Amino acid sequence: MMNSHEPQERLDPPLPRTLEPEVMDDPTEAILYDEMDHSEVNRRFVEDFFRSPLAVGDPDRLLIDLGCGTAQIPIQFCRSHPEVRIMAIDAAPRMLDLAIRNIDIAGLRGRIELVQADAKSMQEFSAGIADAVISNSLLHHLAHPFAALQQARRLIRPSGRLFFRDLMRPTTATEVDRLTALYAGKESPAAQQLLHQSLHAALTLSEIREMIEKLGFDPAVVQATSDRHWTLDVRSG
């Protein structure tokens, strides 16, 4: 029988999801985001896409990038694979303004098409138009991320591929602080705040797996792939 005078272990309550603005359209924030060093994360995203066992077979030539931001990842994809063409979609005009500049500097306007649209409601796009839909760090911005996942599923062809990666919400506020210091400690205070907010807004592994199961996929296709990211990699059909 437990002694009532023994100290009880105090468990932190689960960290709730705290939403941030869905569309990053403030010009100052857009510039700040573009200037942050995402190079390593972007490089790994592109490399993991092409190195995956699901990349074997018919090449994924036409990609849709949901939440393309300033087009850093579409540019990296096109530089890594000469046959790739990308429809890069974002809801924020300020982000797309910077994306146009970045694409022009890279000399890739002929291979990357920019489109302003809401990833949660893209009925103007025909079903099955893409070989793959990719997305990096979009879902944590959305109050209703499942709607964007449904649209992504609709846009891929039979046997098309979904490749999503996003932040994973830590279990405690202390862990949010630790990860922010570890990965943004050398950035400006404003950049650190962006990451801090994003970690609070992110989905947990169990939350994203539940959504993927509702789409008809095995939830195990979503895996934790770093101390702060999960990755979805699956083919339909």
CATH label of the domain that carries residue 214? 3.40.50.150
Tokens of 117: 């649209």
Q: Which of 202, 234, 200 is nearest to 219 (CA)?
A: 234
| Gap between the Cα atoms of 31 and 231, Å rounded | 27
- Indicate whether 6 belongs to any domain: no
Report the percent of the chain where pLDDT is more than 70. Answer: 95
The predicted structure's pLDDT at residue 58: 77
- Indicate whether 183 belongs to any domain: no
CA 136 from centre of chain = 2
The predicted structure's pLDDT at residue 181: 97
- Indicate whether 65 belongs to any domain: yes
The predicted structure's pLDDT at residue 139: 98
The predicted structure's pLDDT at residue 3: 52
- Indicate whether 145 belongs to any domain: yes
What's the total number of domains in the chain? 1
Higher-confidence position of 132 and 191 = 132
SS3 call for 130: strand
- Indicate whether 132 belongs to any domain: yes
- Indicate whether 217 belongs to any domain: yes
Higher-confidence position of 1 and 26 = 26
- Sort residue 69 into left (φ over 0), alpha (ψ -120 to 50) or beta: left
The predicted structure's pLDDT at residue 2: 45
In the predicted structure, residue 108 carries a pLDDT above the cut 60: yes
- Chain-wide mean pLDDT for the chain? 92
pLDDT band, residue 120 (cuts 50/70/90): very high
| Gap between the Cα atoms of 110 and 101, Å rounded | 14
> For residue 208, what are the domain limits?
27-48+57-169+204-235
What global pTM score does this model have? 0.91
Q: Which of 228, 164, 231, 225 is nearest to 200 (CA)?
A: 228
In the predicted structure, residue 216 carries a pLDDT above the cut 60: yes
Q: Residues 82-91: what's their mean pLDDT?
A: 96
Residue 227, number of CB atoms within 10 A of its CB: 12
Q: Could you tell me the CA-to-CA distances from 74 to 108, 113, 233 in Å, in that order?
A: 9, 10, 18
Q: Residues 115-128: what's their mean pLDDT?
A: 95
The predicted structure's pLDDT at residue 13: 65
- Indicate whether 10 belongs to any domain: no
- Indicate whether 192 belongs to any domain: no
In the predicted structure, residue 9 carries a pLDDT above the cut 70: no
